[in-house]
Amino acid sequence: MGLNLIKVKGPEGVKVREVRCSSALSHSGLESDYALNPYTGCSHGCVYCYSPFVIREDRGWGTFVDVKRNVPKVLAEELKKKKGTVRIGSVTDPYQPVEESCEVTRLCLMQLSKKDVPTIVQTKSSLVTRDVDIFKKMDVDVGLTITSLEDDFVKRFEPGAPSPDERLDALKELVDEGVSTWVFIGPMMPYLNDEPEELVKEIRSRGVDEIYMDKLNMREGIWKNLERVLDEEMMERYKVICSGDDHFRDKRKMYERLGRLVF
């Protein structure tokens, strides 16, 4: 797999390089048959992201993006033999900033559209609205991840991601265009964004009722990342939670109540 540093429109301080991939589709267990990731790495740099531990990447999440320039061509060949649902963006965001100039995700969507492949797209980016013209020709569900209404939360835990307002505006545009749309609220971080009633109201006011939630995935590497952004008092609270102490029982009940509220 060859690679070259390339100049594309991307966030400051993020190293972008071009690579060639040998395969496009990998088997997936995330409510789809296959996963498709047009990029390796993600400039959103979310503190809680487990993707680098899944793909065993230690370059510093949020500081690099590998553009799989030939993935649309590889995908076209694989679609001649492989059948099933494809999920775009299982360990990267397919609409992170470099996509605006590289358009690798858009080219992949074109290939999927030609074969009428059922497709799931998940992103945090308002750039997703650019491809409404293709979505309208596909069997596609588009999901936006919105973790909080608070800009401070986003800046702290999702430093490279669009603001909550941008995502909500994108959500409304997708709905207005008739695109099947859902929202993922996650991870739910105790004491920080785990009371999302107002967020749920805002989502529903945009015409979306399909909402999913998930808890924080406390892998070892994520714990170290949280230590960089949480103060000592909050880290002590998280240690209590992770130990399964009854102190968190009321919070668990709250999760159950919200589960009934949004599903």
Strands (E), 39-112: 39-40, 64-68, 86-88
| 144: Cβ contacts below 8 Å, ≥ 6 apart | 122, 123, 124, 128, 167, 170, 171, 174, 181, 182, 183, 184
Structure confidence at residue 224 (pLDDT): 86
Structure confidence at residue 1 (pLDDT): 42
Positions in the chain whose pLDDT score sits under 50 = 1-2, 5, 246-247, 249, 260-263
CB-CB contact of 107 with 15 (8 Å): no
Structure confidence at residue 259 (pLDDT): 52
Structure confidence at residue 58 (pLDDT): 86
Show the tokens assigned to 57: 């990447």
The C-alpha atoms of residue 145 and residue 64 are separated, in whole angstroms, by 21
The domain of 36 spans: 3-262
CATH number at residue 141: 3.20.20.70
CB-CB contact of 144 with 186 (8 Å): no
Q: Total structural domains in the chain? A: 1
CA dihedral 126, 132, 136, 140 (to 10 degrees): -30
Structure confidence at residue 10 (pLDDT): 56
